[in-house]
Each structure stands twice: as C-alpha cells, then as structure tokens.
Chain A
C-alpha cells in the first residue's frame, strides 16, 4: 500500500463512513447483489458529490484501492486542491467529456482499470443536474460495456443524496438515503442504454419517495 492508499483508507474510515452513518443513514436494498471482487461496472444515477463516496463505502475498506469512480476531467482537474482531493484522496479516474482531442482514446484509462480487475463506478448521466431528477444517460458506459462484453454491469439507484447535498450547495442537510442494487446485466446485444435506463428507473420504484419541491 502506498501512502496515498493509507490516507484514503483513513479518510473513509474516520470521516466518510461516520458521516454517512450519522448524518445520512444509508438504507441499502439487495446488498447481497454486490460483487466481492471486480472487474465490474457500477452504473448509478447521479445527484450529488456524495454519490461517489456512498458507493465507494459499500465496499470493505480493504477493497477501497480497487474501487475507481470515473469523473469529468474538466471539472475535477480545475485547480490543484480539487485535483488533489479527487485524484489523490478519492482516487477518481479523470475522463475527458469532450472527445476527439489529440486522438487519444478517452476510455483507455477506464478499460485499463477494468482489465486490472477494478470496480468501476460510472454515472451515465454525465453530470449531477437538477437534484433528484434523472437525466438521459450518455453513451460512454455503453461504449465501455460493448468493448468489454464479458464484464457485468451492475445498475444502482440512489435516492436522497441530491437532497442532502445538491449541485451548487455546500452545506449538507441530514436525510436518510436509499441505495437500491440491481441484478447484473451485460453490454452485449442491442438497446443496452435503454435497458439500463429502464432498469435504474425500476429500481427507483422499489422504494417510496416523497416529492422534492
């Protein structure tokens, strides 16, 4: 383990997990569907920065090194502080949202992580958007799933994190949050993106919600 890994472990053990436990309180449905090991792609809806921390905390601390969240390079590499937080502390995989610059494969890092047996977290909506509203999924996850058709995609529905800490807000307000884990699916075959969207929406209907006006 590098010093970075130790720091991340301490960050999750001493800050993230107690915060999720006391200030939020996760209600996880179908926890048994979580794989113990990668490679696997976790595709979740996205409402808050807390989504990444919550999904990472579902795995044991010893596995933390192998859990990588794909995140927008243009946002998280904006300045050195944010970059340190995102890349060094949390260990995101920065990805270019605007493709076609310099002919580099934008998915290369994500594919390499999967090939190394990592657990890849992807938010197919691409950005957090309006809190607690699902936007249309972007196709990136489809490309990854098509290029690694043997790797399972695990759809996950998250609710409440957008109420706790929505986009543009810095003060978290405590609410209980739901994490609903779906059955693994694969990227093989037609209409994958549509199936994924429908599956995540169906998971959302498993738990009741109050409106957020």
Chain B
C-alpha cells in the first residue's frame, strides 16, 4: 500500500488499484489481439471451427464481465454490492433451473430468492454478525419450516438439502467477496476494500487459467479421473506456483497483506480454487449436464464461471479478517 510510485489517488481511487485494473484491461486486449489475429480454421473440420468461434465468444464475454466490474467499482461500493447481489441472484436462478425441484416448493423457492436482497442488505450496512449467520442459521432453518407447511414429505430431505447447498454456494459464498468492500474499518486507507476484492477476483481467475495452461502443457497424472479427467497433479502444482508468485507481486500492492503472508495466501487461493472447480464439476456430473447454463457465451453458465470463487471468497475473507481486521 505504501509503494512509492503507486501512492497517488485519482478520482478517489488509489494508484495501485488503477494500475492493476489497467494491467487487466491491457492483458485482455493482448489476448483479444492474439485470438483475433489467428486465422479462421479453413477446411471441413467443424470441430476446429466451433472451437475457434467459442474462443472468440469467450473473450467477448470477458470484456463484458471486466467492463461491468470496472464500471461498478468506479461508481462506488454500493454499486459493486448491487452488482454482486445480481450475480448471486442469477447464480441461484441457474442452480434452481438445473436441479430437480418439487412443485410443492414453489413458494419456498421464492423465499430462497428473497434471501439474496436481504443478505446483500446486511453486507451494504456492514452488519458482520448478521451477515455471517443469516444464511446458515436463519435461512437454513426457515426454509425447511416453510417446506413442512406445504405438507409434502415425499422427497423432503433431498429438496431441503439441495436448496441449502444452492444458497450456500450462490448467496453465502459469493457474499463474502462483496463483504470485502466494507471489511476495512472506518480509519483504514481509502481503496483498501476495493483493493481486497480486485485482488481476490484477479488471483482466482488467474489461478483458473494458470492451472488450465499448466495442465495442458505438463499434465500427466490425473487427480480425479472420475470427476474431472482434465485435472492433473502437474496442472495443479503449476497453477499453484504461478498463483503464489502473482499473489506475492499483487497482494502487498493492493491489500494490507505483507510479502511472506502473500505466499501463504497464494497457496490458499490456488488450493481453494482447485476444489471449487472440481466440486462444481461433480455437481454437473451428478446432474448429467456439461454446462450450468448459456448466459456467458464461450464460458457456459454463471456457475461455470464463479465455481472457483465459491471456494476462494470465504477462505480468503476469513484469513484476511482474522489476521488483519
């Protein structure tokens, strides 16, 4: 935070946050140029053409996501909390669309949707005590209570269990990313909340890409052949090393985390992200689907994109909160 050349502010933004976001946009621009300069595969191979088209679509979706995030950050913490609340809503809707639900539970599902604005309201007003128990205490007990009033016992446990898991990943977990914005106490340097969130998002997504690339380049030994055959020991370790180095470069700049601690945070994020990824793979395999949705062209559904964040956000949040606030 006290880095000399980054210690300026612009429109209330800290220099480190601006430089980092500019680097993200630059990186994306380079990736776009690389993908678009590649010639369209000629010939009769429909698979190659499809792959090429998907890669371009994926880059396009990245631009939309980065633009939304930067725009919301520029508007201030409230806008960012609203945006992440909307992401939670879309993720919950996607989850409820892909799991089997019971006709009897229609009203119960509306109550579950109601948890999104309420949880993000606690985040908005910075009420930590309520934020951290609202979903796992109140919602997890109120939902089965509402279900039992509907009187349908057939499939009760399955319906209650799947609904709990859905709120856990889409609302409670993702909410931790939003709470980073209001985590620093009033006296903290400005830009620390956004800095923590920017760092979490960059490290999580970077780790996804790094594990994928390392796996493709060096991958030999499969970790979970039944769940996700593409995941290898080499991919995991390669991603972990890259993410740890990135964390050591970025965390001291964007967050109150010091250099040695940043290495530990990098290991934590890489490991959590890996498990988030394969847990969502297991969910999809159980449901017999390849993607969770179609809302992000080239990526699939919103759950396909935030699968790692579901695990990294709470672990990162609680590590930072315990040691620094």
By secondary structure, the A interface counts as loop
Map CB proximity to A onto B281-314 as digits: 1 under 8 Å, 0 otherwise.
0000001110001110000000000000000000
In the complex the two chains form, is A160's CB within 8 Å of B289's CB? no
With known contacts A25-B90, A27-B293, A208-B289, A175–B100 Cβ distance under 8 A: no
Give the chain B neighbours of A169 by CB distance below 8 A: 106
Map CB proximity to B onto A175-189 as digits: 1 under 8 Å, 0 otherwise.
110000000000000
Identify the interface centre among A25, A131, A171, A176: most chain B CB within 10 Å of its CB: A176
Cα–Cα distance between A25 and B289 once the two chains are bound (Å): 19
Partner of B94 from the list A171, A176, A211 (CB cut-off 8 Å) is A176
In the complex the two chains form, is A160's CB within 8 Å of B97's CB? yes
In the complex the two chains form, is B288's CB within 8 Å of A208's CB? yes
Cα–Cα distance between A208 and B294 once the two chains are bound (Å): 12
Give the chain B neighbours of A176 by CB distance below 8 A: 93-94, 97, 293, 295
In the complex the two chains form, is A212's CB within 8 Å of B93's CB? no
Give the chain B neighbours of A208 by CB distance below 8 A: 287-289
Closest to B158 in A: A213
Cα–Cα distance between A213 and B99 once the two chains are bound (Å): 11
By secondary structure, the B interface counts as helix
Partner of A166 from the list B94, B97, B103, B287 (CB cut-off 8 Å) is B103
Give the chain B neighbours of A27 by CB distance below 8 A: 293-295
B246 at the interface (CB under 8 A from A): no
Cα–Cα distance between A211 and B288 once the two chains are bound (Å): 12
A3 at the interface (CB under 8 A from B): no
With known contacts A25-B93, A176-B93, A210–B110 Cβ distance under 8 A: no
Cα–Cα distance between A25 and B100 once the two chains are bound (Å): 18
9 of the cross-chain contacts (CB-CB < 8 Å) are A163-B101, A171-B106, A171-B110, A176-B93, A208-B288, A208-B289, A210-B98, A213-B102, A213-B155
A residues near B (Cβ < 8 Å) are 25, 27, 131, 160, 163, 166, 169, 171, 173-176, 208, 210-213
